[in-house]
């Protein structure tokens, strides 16, 4: 069983929901990411989504676009991101790590080379925003052969026949994008999300994580009441941006935000 599935099983047995923070690797500088990952785990993160910086992050709002720019100003590459995961794994063998990003850097590396390298580094899941399941006939099986989960996005506009298809192609968890927009968008309607999750659950037993638009303790708690996982990114990345000139403060400050969400979710 993958680390992701074990993680959700354990949480379910405890009656808790997964807190899944997202940060962009290499933002604002290469040395920050590793201590930040450990700090977030210490303050209650269950799964870490690590963004692979990309020049054209078309699903991301301005906050994560700027995070990519900061990371790319140091030429943070896919190889660098995998190296961070390998380093993280030396002291943490249980927390799942999901790479979130776009296909092009992976395609340039080569699917097979990437599958092997990701497996060696200890990556548990891959979410490529711009790779729909129809285009993943080669990529998907290569990942699965290395026991890496391929995670897909579902949108508020995804029709039911497509929900079925996407759920069948994915593994680990399903990522429900809670708003019609890019990351960091506002106005999350929890009732609407709950209705959509009911539809999604007709088609899969996989855990459903909800992201895009969760910005504080209250929204994290509200979503945790209806979803299996709460994915939070932009609000953490905003804090990283604020502290770009005081990098040693980043791990503690960001972990404090995710830790506070953890407490709100567990109440």
Binding residues for other proteins, rule: CB under 8 A, are 54-56, 72, 75, 77-78, 104-109
| Tokens 């190889």 sit on residue | 79
Closer CB to other proteins, 78 or 100, in the complex: 78
Q: How far is the CB of 127 from other proteins (least distance, A)?
A: 17
Residues with catalytic roles: 49, 60
Q: Which whole-number Å values give the CA distances from 136 to 49, 142, 162, 185, 230, in the listed order?
A: 20, 10, 15, 28, 26
Helix (H) or strand (E) holding 93: none
**Contact (Cβ atoms closer than 8 angstroms) between residue 50 and residue 100:** yes
Q: How far is the CB of 87 from other proteins (least distance, A)?
A: 20
Closer CB to other proteins, 102 or 175, in the complex: 102
Closer CB to other proteins, 134 or 245, in the complex: 134
Spatial CA neighbour of 176 closest among 159, 195, 193:
193
Q: How far is the CB of 54 from other proteins (least distance, A)?
A: 7
Q: Which whole-number Å values give the CA distances from 215 to 6, 75, 258, in the listed order?
A: 27, 29, 10
């Amino acid at each position: 069983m993958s680390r992701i599935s074990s993680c959700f099983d354990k949480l379910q047995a405890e009656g808790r929901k997964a807190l899944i923070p997202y940060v962009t690797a290499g933002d604002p500088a290469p040395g920050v990411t590793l201590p930040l990952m450990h700090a977030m785990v210490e303050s209650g993160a269950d799964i870490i989504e690590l963004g692979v910086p990309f020049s054209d992050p078309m699903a991301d709002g301005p906050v994560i676009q700027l995070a990519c720019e900061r990371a790319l100003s140091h030429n943070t590459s896919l190889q660098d991101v995998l190296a961070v995961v390998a380093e993280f794994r030396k002291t943490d063998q249980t927390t799942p790590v999901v790479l979130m990003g776009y296909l092009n850097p992976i395609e340039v590396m080569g699917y097979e080379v990437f599958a092997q390298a990701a497996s060696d580094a200890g990556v548990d899941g891959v979410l490529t925003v711009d790779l729909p399941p129809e285009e993943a006939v080669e990529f998907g099986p290569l990942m699965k052969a290395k026991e890496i989960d391929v995670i897909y996005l579902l949108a508020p506009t995804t029709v039911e026949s497509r929900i079925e298809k996407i759920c069948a192609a994915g593994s680990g968890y399903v990522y429900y994008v809670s708003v019609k927009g890019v990351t960091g968008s506002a106005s999350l309607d929890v009732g609407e999300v709950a209705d959509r999750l009911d539809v999604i659950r007709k088609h899969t037993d996989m855990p459903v994580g909800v992201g895009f638009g969760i910005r504080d303790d209250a929204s994290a708690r509200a979503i945790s009441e209806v979803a299996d996982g709460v994915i939070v990114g932009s609000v953490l990345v905003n804090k990283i941006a604020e502290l770009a000139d005081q990098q040693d403060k980043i791990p503690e400050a960001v972990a404090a935000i995710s830790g506070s969400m953890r407490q709100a979710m567990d109440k």
